[in-house]
């Protein structure tokens, strides 16, 4: 993690939180695209860094976690109901 100009190592194992559905089958709380697990493990490392998963759910903004994980600034944009997302993002990046 990269916070306030410093890098921090966060060690995590490969287990992720799960819960039982109505039919008692186990469901992973978050699963990555195409059954990859890097997303949930990244979330787990950030939860460990800030203390708990509960800390993630009760405050802060996603741009804070993106900066901590990537070392790059994150930005928040208010969007309007539009289908022109590409040009909005391009203009923001420019």
User: Would you call 58 helix, strand, or coil by DSSP?
Assistant: coil
Question: What is the structure's pLDDT at 30?
Answer: 58
- The single-letter DSSP state of residue 49 is H
Comparing 8 with 81, which gets the higher pLDDT?
8
User: Would you call 77 helix, strand, or coil by DSSP?
Assistant: coil
**Number of separate domains in the chain:** 1
Question: What is the structure's pLDDT at 32?
Answer: 61
What range defines the domain where residue 80 resides?
2-93
Comparing 1 with 86, which gets the higher pLDDT?
86
> What residues are paired with 6 via a beta bridge?
3
What tokens appear for 7 in the block? 């890098």
Comparing 16 with 11, which gets the higher pLDDT?
11
What's this model's pTM, rounded to 2 decimal places? 0.58
Alpha-carbon distance 26 to 51, whole Å?
A: 25
How many other CB atoms sit within 10 Å of the CB of residue 26? 8
- The single-letter DSSP state of residue 34 is G
Residue spans of alpha helices (H) in 1-94: 38-50, 53-57, 62-70, 85-93
Cβ burial of 44 (10 Å; 0-12, 13-18, 19+) is: buried
Q: In which band, very low, low, confident or very high, does the pLDDT at 26 lie, cut at 50, 70 and 90? A: low
pLDDT score of 23 more than 70 = yes
Summarised one tens digit per residue, pLDDT across range 39-73 is: 778 888 888 888 888 887 777 777 777 777 777 87
């Amino acid at each position: 993690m990269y916070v306030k100009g410093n890098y921090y190592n966060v060690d995590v194992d490969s287990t992720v939180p799960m819960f039982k559905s109505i039919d008692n089958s186990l469901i992973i709380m978050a699963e990555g695209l195409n059954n990859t697990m890097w997303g949930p493990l990244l979330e787990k490392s950030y939860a460990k860094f800030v203390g708990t998963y509960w800390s993630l759910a009760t405050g802060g903004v996603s741009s804070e976690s993106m900066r901590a994980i990537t070392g790059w600034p994150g930005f928040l944009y208010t969007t309007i109901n539009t289908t022109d997302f590409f040009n909005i993002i391009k203009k923001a990046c420019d």
